Amino acid sequence: MQQTVYFHTSLNHTGIAAVVEVVVTAGNGDGSSQHLSCGFGLIPLFASGSEATDPAAEDRTLKLYHGTPRALLHPRFQDPMEKNKYLTVMEKSHLQYSLKPHQPLEMIFHLLPENLLVSGQQNIPGVLPACGDASDCLQKPRLLQPVTCYLERLSIRLHPSLEEFEEELLDLLNSDRLLKANAAPDGAGVVVRERRLHVGVHNGLCFVQAPQVAVLVPEAEVARGSCPGGLAPAARDAGQALVLRSRIHLSEMVPHPAFGVCFQLEYVFCSMGRAGGKALPSGACSEATEMCSVRWAVWSPALGTGEKEEEVVLPLRGGPHRGPCQALVYRTPPSGRSSCQGKHVESGTVQFHVSTDSEEHLVTAAKIPDKGRDALEPPTLSLSPQAPRVPASPQGPGLSVSQLSAMPRGKDQPLEGGITHLEADLGWADPEACAEEPLRALPFAPLQVPVAALGIQADSSHTLLSRAALARLHTAGFPEILDRHQEPVGISEPVDLATFSPQLEEADPLQGNEIILQFLAFGRDARGHAEGTWPRTIFLTFQFYRFPPVTTPRLQLVSTERGLAAGPALQAQLLVRVNKDGTLGRPPGLQLKYMVDPAFLRAGEQRWFVRYLAEHSLQIDIWDGDSLLLVGSAAVRLQPLLRQGREAIRTHHELEVATTEYEPDVTVMGQEALRHGALRPLGVRVALRGRLHLCMANVGHLCEEPPGQLPSPLPSRSRIVPAPDGACVIPAGSWLSRDTACGQVSQARRLVEVDSELAAALRAPRPGPRPGWQEQRALRMRDLQIIDAYREHTKGESISRVLSQAITATRTVHAVLGTAEFFEFTLKNPYGVQHTVTIEVDHPELSVILDPREWRHFKELTKSVTPVEEEMFHLRDDLRPQVYLRPNETVRIPFKYQTFSADPAIVAAQGPAGLDTSADTGAHSLGQSGAARMKHIQVSFQVSGGKPIALLLVKVEPQPHVVDQTFRFYHPELTFLKKTIRLPPWHTLPGTPVGMPGGQPEMFVRCSDPNIICETKSMGPGEPQDIFLKVAGGPSPQIKKFFVAIYTDSWLAVPVQIWQFYLHSLQRLDVSCTAGQLSRLSLLLRGTPAPRRVRAFTSHPHELQVDPDGTFLLPANGIQELFVGVRPRRAGSRFIYLNLVDVESHQLLSSWLLCLACRQPLISKAFEISLPAGGGRGCNKRITYTNPYPAPRLYFLSTNRPDLLQFKEDSFEVAGGQVYTIGLRFAPSQELGEEEILIHINDHEDKNEETFCVKVLYQ
């Protein structure tokens, strides 16, 4: 027999166990049954701490013990059970069980109490029974559909009256107080401070949600219109009822017989002293309050009968009856006092009005019975004997402030009925402090160390090449750069920014700019000891201005005969384009052209472009064309492209290519995280990889329209959309318009030319022989009837369309990411009566500006002189704005269009996922490329009845945006990246004291991806400001691209900078190793549907070796093992990247992120030498090593600085106990300082035997 039992618990202690008892049921001769215990066992639920026992699927064996499980409560019971001498194991008896989590059970946690064992065959109220062949309803539980109901006009009447009931209750409580204190009557008393009603839905097992708490007031006080707090009883002639002045909303009700609504009446008391026989004021009441449950009731509704609304009257219960709230309840009145009342109202009644919006009406099943009936019990629930645990109760209707100061009876006393009261949650602290002082948030201190947002600095503004190198570069055969007169443009010095004149640029007659970028050569830099191998091919990625991002084709590095030396740089290699067949193209270099013509720019954008060249830099990423790994990044200032009145300018630049390696995040823990501004230094390692030779030119042209296109007018500078009064924009083909005021003539067309469906119906082939003239006439008449029917059918639609076009105005918006486009629409009331106009917009990115401060801010930015009206709009319940218009009144409605979603058609993907072999070296222009991606937004201005008085059609044409800085992060797949980026100190004056105002302005950020958390908080005047990012990574090798816009104004009008982020998701592999020692591991490679020739590449080939190390075949849908050996050169935490690349298509198949946790080996000997710096031939030294083993051993040598130290022999063999002399040669260093060089001596298995440390002082 197999049985599945379900339960859930919040306990996580090792001592928690499930007790299983085996019971045999035997039948007696008289028909009764007898239960006999056969033994018991214990199932441990938790192995250690909060970790559950391993939820393996295999069966386990449970030992059974003789006796009863009540033996566990015996004082002589010892733990563990195996060592207990009082327990005896039952031989040859055991149970098989398996313990594992069941995630689908979480959806019904609110229907099951904790630690309650249930079976799938049981009927759980609120859960649908199992359907089909399934007999277990908890395997995949399905919930019943809830019904929302409302309880209104609730009132409670107590027997014999409210005054007498409370008077007796107060006397008994006061007597109990004196009895506990063992004191005589002192003149003090107990008063009612508050009357509460707890209302909750119970399913017979537990409360579905925490009961709501409502405050009741006497009916007499409601009649007088005051609520002084209930200190004095109501007058006898006043209303004798407690009423609720609000309604109760129950959304968790389920149409099930076991579901019911539970009511619990609770009084809050406090002690009150007396002075001279008079009661003290309410403020003198003791703050120590007590609560007492006095009555309860349960209402179980029925389904399918009655009306949607019903009046319900329930009897209240009290005394030692078992109730759903699991609390002691005040006694019921003595039976002798109920002579004039029915027994069903001895304890009082609760009356309310119930209503529901559901199709299945909830109707009462409990009415006030007749006096002659004996069935006087109210409907009850099947209650669990254990108080259910429910979360803290939410604030219900009418929750008073006094609940915050009421305390439970004792610090360790459990809560009544399992309901977690709000005052009980705050009862641990001082009640006055809890009522008046909310929790204060600590200063914002990010737990992620900040990354500086400075990026690659564009410091190089001129070349370091010698004249001889320039001559060799000039004769390499690069394409000539010609001006508009087809004359070569010579290399000149860039313009000094201090002498830059914007007026000179505006007055230049050559407003057309042809920007030319020539990538010439790439060379290794000798100052940076690069850890990776030098690439054979490279490709570049960058974005210039608003043009689409560019991924260049692969460029081969070709060495020249004599090389290009520039200072400390080694030989520079020419860049030559690789054709599709693998041959090298001619001429060398890569040239890209950008045509920036004012004819294709927006209004005023020419000034923005000049400012872009003066202030921005072009960031270039250099990638290895074979391994698809990032070689480094470079930046060049665009200021040399400013012509300043010259016809053409050309400059040569030598850019430093550097790579930035971020060490793993060091989390700030403990008290450091709570300290203001607690930040630890970030380990950032910047390595100089090489130098990129670049030539930039700007050739001026006269502003002419391109051939083959009609002159297109520039967009209007006006921010006001005129009203469509008198607009005669009639669609062509409707009718011939001769209105000269419209300035438009429309030629009428035939119906068959307009409607294809009508044309198909008229041109349908007719069977039979060729008809005569009578048949042709009949066919003509039939066609005319079809046309007449069609015209009648479409007449209403055509008239409605023409009328809509007559009241429609059009506005074209050129949308840029993050930039708000502001305009005003002139709205006129065409009627002679006043109207309230509702504005409906069918797109969330277009909105009406409701705040007059924001309206005024945008008018100042756009230099608009129209007036601003305060409190112009009114918001309806559905948040649609309304504006009131007087007869024939005209107003201007401000609109703002702003998008934060990057258009994927404009922002093309760039990066190492694949190469764009279709990259064109021709000219790129800012044409009307957004017309195909234009979207239309309609705004309707409606009066009462939904009749439109005006329509606004907004045409949104997306435009590319400028990228100011690019960040790339490599992170493990399917995990969250959490980064804190420190903003640069913009607008901060030099020498400003820390903490003084007037320094860094407040920044605001928005992200293009709504699924990314991006926020910033100000740390105070003069303090640095950080941006916090939380990004969910995808599967490897996915690359997530998003943008962050940074603003300095709170209305987010125009971003001051736009940052581009790339998140490369890689498969994570954690490696724990020792510096200088080889650690081996393996990776599984899964094949694609087609076989591929692949190769594994690594970012640190000197520290990570792969086997096979060359090109190999990855079979289709197969699995192959890749062996990896890691020998780190330095200790610490770091990252190493591993790419698997298709060598034929140059596609990235898989990526791994090796997270190294490298330990420093034990140093057995230390040496120190001094060497001269700045050149020389180096120095030879010798050290000795003794073999500590009695047998001969083979040893291998390695070092962490192979650029500074070479060995005479990389391996040696020495006999047992013998001494061997190791020859060392120290290379010269170009820089002064101190270096620690480690010498690793490893055995034949590459395990570290000893490590020597040599401290070298370069002087």
Q: Which of 877-891, 984-998, 1095-1109, 1145-1159 has the lowest mean pLDDT?
A: 984-998
Of these ranges, 267-276, 445-454, 665-674, 842-851, the one predicted with the greatest mean pLDDT is 842-851
**pLDDT surpassing 80 at residue 699:** yes
Among 199, 205, 185, 39, CA closest to 108 = 205
For residue 494, what pLDDT band results from cuts at 50, 70 and 90?
Answer: low
* Per-position DSSP letters for 884-898, written without gaps between them: EE-TT-EEEEEEEE-
**pLDDT surpassing 50 at residue 446:** no
pLDDT tens for each residue of 212-237: 998 898 888 776 654 444 434 434 44
> 549 with 907: CB under 8 angstroms?
yes
Among 173, 170, 169, CA closest to 181 = 173
What's phi and psi for 1145, nearest 5 deg? -95, -5
Would you call 83 helix, strand, or coil by DSSP? helix
What's phi and psi for 1160, nearest 5 deg? -80, 130
* Per-position DSSP letters for 232-246, written without gaps between them: SPPPTTS---EE-SS
How confident is the model at residue 103, as a pLDDT? Answer: 87
For residue 1199, what pLDDT band results from cuts at 50, 70 and 90?
Answer: very high
What's phi and psi for 83, nearest 5 deg? -95, 5
For residue 801, what pLDDT band results from cuts at 50, 70 and 90?
Answer: confident
Which residues does residue 385 pair with via DSSP β-bridges, in sequence order? none
- Averaged confidence pLDDT in the chain: 75
CA distance 1228 to 1099: 27
CA distance 826 to 809: 10
Q: Which of 493-497, 703-707, 752-756 has the lowest mean pLDDT?
A: 703-707
Among 554, 521, 538, CA closest to 624 = 538
Output the CA angle 219-224-228, nearest 5 degrees: 80
Q: Which of 443-452, 616-625, 652-661, 1167-1176 has the lowest mean pLDDT?
A: 443-452
Using alpha carbons, list the distances in angstroms from residue 1141 to 196, 814, 1092, 1116, 1153: 71, 41, 9, 15, 15
Q: Which residue has the tokens 């100000």?
A: 1018
> 54 with 61: CB under 8 angstroms?
no
Of these ranges, 260-274, 423-437, 555-569, 1209-1223, the one predicted with the greatest mean pLDDT is 1209-1223
CA distance 1043 to 1063: 11
For residue 1013, what pLDDT band results from cuts at 50, 70 and 90?
Answer: very high
Give residue 1039's identity as a one-letter amino acid code.
I
The tokens of 380 are what?
A: 């009850």
For residue 787, what pLDDT band results from cuts at 50, 70 and 90?
Answer: confident
How confident is the model at residue 31, as a pLDDT? Answer: 74
How confident is the model at residue 743, as a pLDDT? Answer: 46
How confident is the model at residue 981, as a pLDDT? Answer: 84
Greater confidence (954 vs 909) lies with: 954
Greater confidence (261 vs 439) lies with: 261
How confident is the model at residue 381, as a pLDDT? Answer: 40
* DSSP summary character for residue 122: S
Greater confidence (255 vs 925) lies with: 255
Query: CB burial class (10 A; 0-12, 13-18, 19+) of residue 1227?
Result: middle
How confident is the model at residue 350, as a pLDDT? Answer: 92
Output the CA angle 363-367-373, nearest 5 degrees: 145
Residues in the chain: 1259
Three-state SS string over 601-617 comes to CCCCHHHHHHHHHHHCE
How confident is the model at residue 49, as a pLDDT? Answer: 47
pLDDT tens for each residue of 1160-1171: 898 888 898 888
CA distance 1004 to 1027: 9
Q: Which residue has the tokens 């990115």?
A: 845
Using alpha carbons, list the distances in angstroms from residue 95 to 40, 55, 119, 890: 10, 17, 18, 86
**pLDDT surpassing 70 at residue 546:** yes
Greater confidence (680 vs 831) lies with: 831
How confident is the model at residue 896, as a pLDDT? Answer: 93
CA distance 610 to 15: 74
* Per-position DSSP letters for 1034-1058, written without gaps between them: -STT-EEEEEEEEESSTT--S-SEE
Task: With 0.75 as the threshold, say if the pTM is over it.
Answer: no
How confident is the model at residue 543, as a pLDDT? Answer: 85
What proportion of the chain, given as a percentage, has pLDDT over 70?
71
Give residue 1092's identity as a one-letter amino acid code.
R
CA distance 415 to 407: 11
For residue 263, what pLDDT band results from cuts at 50, 70 and 90?
Answer: very high
**pLDDT surpassing 80 at residue 415:** no
Q: Which of 299-308, 351-360, 362-371, 1174-1183 has the lowest mean pLDDT?
A: 362-371
How confident is the model at residue 559, as a pLDDT? Answer: 80
HSE-up of 564 (CA within 13 Å, CB side)?
30
**pLDDT surpassing 70 at residue 440:** no
* C-alpha torsion sign, points 309, 310, 311, 316: negative
**pLDDT surpassing 50 at residue 660:** yes
pLDDT tens for each residue of 877-927: 778 899 999 999 999 999 999 998 876 544 443 344 444 434 445 566 665
How confident is the model at residue 453, as a pLDDT? Answer: 57
Residue 723 CB coordination number (10 Å): 18
Greater confidence (306 vs 559) lies with: 559
How confident is the model at residue 401, as a pLDDT? Answer: 31
For residue 737, what pLDDT band results from cuts at 50, 70 and 90?
Answer: very low
Which residues does residue 302 pair with via DSSP β-bridges, in sequence order? 363
CA distance 238 to 240: 6
pLDDT tens for each residue of 42-69: 888 877 644 444 555 567 888 888 888 8
Task: Average the pLDDT over 1236-1255 and give the result.
Answer: 90
How confident is the model at residue 912, as a pLDDT? Answer: 44
Task: Average the pLDDT over 779-805 and give the result.
Answer: 77
pLDDT tens for each residue of 380-391: 343 333 333 333
How confident is the model at residue 36, as a pLDDT? Answer: 85
Classify strands 1147-1159 and 1057-1074 as parallel, antiparallel or unpaired. parallel
pLDDT tens for each residue of 1040-1061: 999 999 988 889 998 988 888 9
Would you call 288 helix, strand, or coil by DSSP? coil
Classify strands 935-942 and 835-841 as parallel, antiparallel or unpaired. antiparallel
Which residues does residue 808 pair with via DSSP β-bridges, in sequence order? 951
* C-alpha torsion sign, points 429, 433, 436, 437: negative
**pLDDT surpassing 50 at residue 409:** no
CA distance 891 to 887: 12
Would you call 309 helix, strand, or coil by DSSP? strand
Among 42, 204, 221, CA closest to 122 = 204
Using alpha carbons, list the distances in angstroms from residue 1059 to 684, 962, 1007, 1008: 20, 9, 10, 10
Which residues does residue 23 pair with via DSSP β-bridges, in sequence order? 37
Residue 781 CB coordination number (10 Å): 10
Of these ranges, 769-773, 957-961, 1219-1223, the one predicted with the greatest mean pLDDT is 1219-1223
What proportion of the chain, given as a percentage, has pLDDT over 90?
12
